[in-house]
Amino acid sequence: MNIKTAVAPVTHQSILQLFFGILVFGSLWGLSEVVLGGSLRAAAFPYRSGLLTGIGMGVMGAALAITRKWFLPIGIGIIAALVTLLVVPVLHASPICRANSCLALGLESGMLALTALIIGKKANKNVFGLMAMGAGAGLLASVAFYFTGIHLEPCAFLLSFTPGSFIITEGLVWAIFSAILLPIGYTVGERIAAKAMMPRIERNAYYYAASVAIIVVCWGASAVAITAGL
């Protein structure tokens, strides 16, 4: 893998495209947190947090492959957190009910951005490099989440663990799912980028129209899912 961290020429068009990219991928990640997360919680799936973390890594991996911007995951994580916070206006709930969820999203995106910045250019463009990035980001996020989440929202779930037991039973699961799904997402992103070969004006028109449609659908579906109790 070779994530470029050099500063590219900045234009109004490139900034706008990155902004829409953040909105699209963040909305997709947020939708998975609301719909799939709620469904897995209802089904009492034991590896829910790990799977959702891996999906988030896959979504951010696709964004990295398309844009080659190491900092993009941070913005994507913020948008995903905002989607989950739709529970506040929709159900008139307290923001604290999503505090640890938003914290986890922020840490996962931040740790992936950090690993992409540090080892992105050094990692070979192969599945093993991507797996190492995913596993590292997932494990670091889990450690940071335990030590910050236990103070932000000391829920019964977190309080049931010691630091070591959380890392073993949760952190390793986060790392495994991230190591599997980040390469998949990155590969999907590469294929999307390779197919974007249409003329610039036509590509931009299609890009913005598709982006707006995806964002509206994701936010709308998330609001409906929250209303339904997910």
Amino acid, single-letter form, for residue 23: L
Q: Within a 13 Å sphere around the CA of 128, how many CA atoms are in the beta-carbon half? A: 2
Ordered by start, the domain boundaries in the chain are: 46-75+99-218
Confidence of residue 6 (pLDDT cuts 50, 70, 90): very low
Instruction: Give the tens place of pLDDT for each residue, 147-174.
Output: 999 999 888 889 899 999 999 999 999 9
pLDDT at 9: 52
Average confidence (pLDDT) over 53-62:
97
CA dihedral of 178, 176, 130, 190, whole degrees rounded to 10: -50
Confidence of residue 118 (pLDDT cuts 50, 70, 90): confident
pLDDT at 198: 47
Of residues 3 and 149, more confidently modeled? 149
Amino acid, single-letter form, for residue 55: I
pLDDT at 203: 64
pLDDT at 7 over 80: no
Distance CA 90, CA 83 (A): 11
pTM of the model: 0.90
Contact predicate 122/4, CB 8 Å? no
pLDDT at 206: 81
∠ Cα 187 121 143 (to 5°)? 80
Instruction: Give the tens place of pLDDT for each residue, 92-102.
Output: 888 888 999 99
Average confidence (pLDDT) over 19-24:
94
76-90, 125-139, 186-200: range with lowest mean pLDDT = 186-200
pLDDT at 144: 96
Q: Annotate the chain with DSSP letters as a single string.
A: -----SPPPP-HHHHHHHHHHHHHHHHHHHHIIIIIHHHHHHTT-TTHHHHHHHHHHHHHHHHHHHH--TTHHHHHHHHHHHHHTTHHHHH---GGGGHHHHHHHHHHHHHHHHHHHHHTTTS-SSHHHHHHHHHHHHHHHHHHHHHHHHHHS--HHHHT--HHHHIIIIIHHHHHHHHHHHHHHHHHHHHHHHH--S-HHHHHHHHHHHHHHHHHHHHHHHHHHHHTT-
Of residues 86 and 208, more confidently modeled? 86
